[in-house]
Amino acid sequence: MMLKKLLLIASIALTSSGLLSSSYAQTAKEQFFPVLPYRSGAYAPNGIPWANGYVDYLKLINARDKGINGITIAFEECDTAYDTARGVECYERLKGKGTAGGSIFQPLSTGITFALTEKAPSDKNSLITSGYGRSESSDGGVFKWNFPLLGTYWAAADIIMQHITKLEGGKLTGKKIALVYHDSPYGKEPIPLLQERSKIQGFDLSLLPVTAPGIEQKSTWLQVRQSRPDYVLLWGWGVMNSAALKEAVNTGYPREKMYGVWWSAAEPDVKDLGDLAKGYNGLVATGELGTLLGDVTKYVHDTKNASGPADEIGTALYNRGLVSAALAVEGVRRAQERFGKGKVMTGEQIRWGLENLSLDDKKLKALKLSSLINPISTSCFDHEGSRFAKIHTWDGKKWHVVTNWIEADSSIIKPLVKTFADKYATEKKLTRRTSEDCQS
C-alpha cells in the first residue's frame, strides 16, 4: 500500500510539472497538426480559401476515416497575417504541441519558410512548402527537413516559359519578357530560372519589383507601356494581382499576353474584375475534386462542420489547401507503414514518411485524389517528388484549363538546384547527407 501511495504522489507531481503530458497524449492517440494560415491582413482574401481547404481535409479524415489508421488528427491554427515575424511567433507557440516530438508545419509564405528553415532541423519539424519556399530545398541532400512537394517556383517559371516558347513556334530569340513581382523572397524566387532560360533562349528579361502589398503599381506599368514586352509574367499575391490587371487595362496591355504563377491565378484575383480580366492566363497545380467532392460535402459541409462557404469548394485555392493537407496526412500514413500503424509518429518518423512518399495512380485513386494531382514519389535527394502544372485562362466568368499537364524541365532546373544548394551548405557549414543517413 505504501509503495502504491508513493507512486501515486510521484505521478501527481510529475503530471503537475508537465513531464507526463507527452505520455498522456500518446495514450489519447492524437497526431497534432499545427496550422499557420492567414485569415487576416492584406492577403486574407487569398489566404482564407487555402486555409479552409486545408482544415476541411483534416476534418474529413477524422470524420470519414476515423483518423489516420485510428489516430485522430488534432490541430490548432495560429494566424500569421502573412508576416514573417508573426509567423515565427506562431511556430514557436505551436512547435511544442507535437506530443510525440515534432510535427509538420506548412508556413504558406516564402519569407516565413526562409526563417523556419533555420529552426526546423533542431526542433525535428518537417516543413511542407508545396508550391512555394526555397526552390533549392528540393535537394534533400542539403535540406533534410524541407519538402517543396509538387513543384517549386523554378518549376512554375519553367512551365510558363515552356508554354510561351511553344506559342512562339519554339523560339524566343529577341523577344521581351517582363517579370512583375512582389518585392519579397517570394517574388524573387523565379529570377534565377528566368535568367538561366534567358541565356539559353536569347530573350530579353526585365525585372519589375512591386512594393508590398502591391496596391500602387502605376510606375511599374508605365515601364511596361514604354518597353512593350511580348509577355508579362505576374508573381503577385492578394490585392497585387487585381491591381496589376487593372493597370494592364489602363495601359492597354493585352491580358492574353499575361501569365501568372499559381498564386496569381485564382478566383479572388479575377472575379471582381469580370470581363476586364478576360484572356488572362495562369498556372494551376491541381485538378478537380472529382469523387472527393461528395465526401467533402457529406462529411464536412452537411454536418455543419465546414470552415467556409459551400461555393468555395473546388476553387483553385481551396483545392490547393486541401491537397497540402493531404500531403501531410500521407506523410504520416507512410511513416506508420514503417514504424507502426495505429501509433502517433515522432518528428523523425514523419520526416522519413515524407521522404519516402510513393503515391502512384492506384494509391491516389484509393484516396480519391487521382483527379487532383499527379503521382508523386520522393526520395532522400528529391524532396519535390513531382513537377507538373496546367495553364488555365479566365473567360470573364470562370477559369478554363487550356493545356494538359506540363512537366518542368529537369535538365535546366537540376543544375540550378545543385548550385544553390551547395552554396547554402557552404554558407551554413553543412555536410551533404550520406547514404547511411538516408536510411534513417
| Residue position matching grid coordinates 499575361 | 258
Give the three-class secondary structure for 306: coil
Same domain as 397, residue 260: yes
Q: Is residue 1 one of the residues assigned to a domain? A: no
Same domain as 172, residue 108: no
Q: Is residue 5 one of the residues assigned to a domain? A: no
Write out the three cell numbers for 199. Answer: 541565356
Give dist(CA 242, CA 75) in Å, integer.
33
Given its phi and psi angles, is residue 314 left (phi above 0), alpha (psi -120 to 50 degrees) or beta? left
What residues form DSSP beta bridges with 71? 68
The whole-number pLDDT of residue 348 equals 95
What CATH number is associated with residue 188? 3.40.50.2300
Same domain as 370, residue 357: yes
**Cα dihedral 425→430→431→435 (10° resolution):** -90
Structural domain containing residue 322 = 29-152+290-387+417-438
Write out the three cell numbers for 256. Answer: 492574353
Give dist(CA 85, CA 94) in Å, integer.
15
CB 120 within 8 A of CB 104: no
Same domain as 351, residue 299: yes
Same domain as 198, residue 345: no
Same domain as 232, residue 185: yes
Same domain as 80, residue 162: no
Per the omega criterion (within 30 degrees of 0), is the bond before 213 cis?
A: yes
CB 42 within 8 A of CB 36: no
Task: Please name the residues in contact with 228: beta carbons below 8 A apart, sequence gap of 6 or more.
Answer: 176
The whole-number pLDDT of residue 371 equals 97
Q: Is residue 240 one of the residues assigned to a domain? A: yes
Give dist(CA 422, CA 428) in Å, integer.
10
Q: Is residue 136 one of the residues assigned to a domain? A: yes
Write out the three cell numbers for 138. Answer: 528540393
CB 93 within 8 A of CB 100: no
3-state secondary structure 62-113: HHHHCCECCEEEEEEECCCCCCHHHHHHHHHHHHHHCCCCCCEECCCCHHHH
Give the three-class secondary structure for 180: strand
Q: Is residue 133 one of the residues assigned to a domain? A: yes
Counted domains in the chain: 2
Give dist(CA 339, CA 28) in Å, integer.
18
Per-residue pLDDT tens, the chain, 440 aa: give them. Answer: 333 333 333 333 333 333 222 333 334 689 999 999 999 999 999 999 999 999 999 999 999 999 999 999 999 999 999 999 999 999 999 998 877 778 999 999 999 999 999 999 999 999 999 999 999 999 999 999 999 999 999 999 999 999 999 999 999 999 999 999 999 999 999 999 999 999 999 999 999 999 999 999 999 999 999 999 999 999 999 999 999 999 999 999 999 999 999 999 999 999 999 999 999 999 999 999 999 999 999 999 999 999 999 999 999 999 999 999 999 999 999 999 999 999 999 999 999 999 999 999 999 999 999 999 999 999 999 999 999 999 999 999 999 999 999 999 999 999 999 999 999 999 999 999 998 888 77
Write out the three cell numbers for 380. Answer: 532522400
Same domain as 317, residue 282: no
The whole-number pLDDT of residue 28 equals 62
pLDDT tens digit string along 171-208? 999 999 999 999 999 999 999 999 999 999 999 999 99
The whole-number pLDDT of residue 25 equals 38
CB 109 within 8 A of CB 87: yes
User: What is the number of other CB atoms lying within 10 angstroms of the CB of residue 284?
Assistant: 18
Give dist(CA 412, CA 304) in Å, integer.
48
Same domain as 176, residue 159: yes
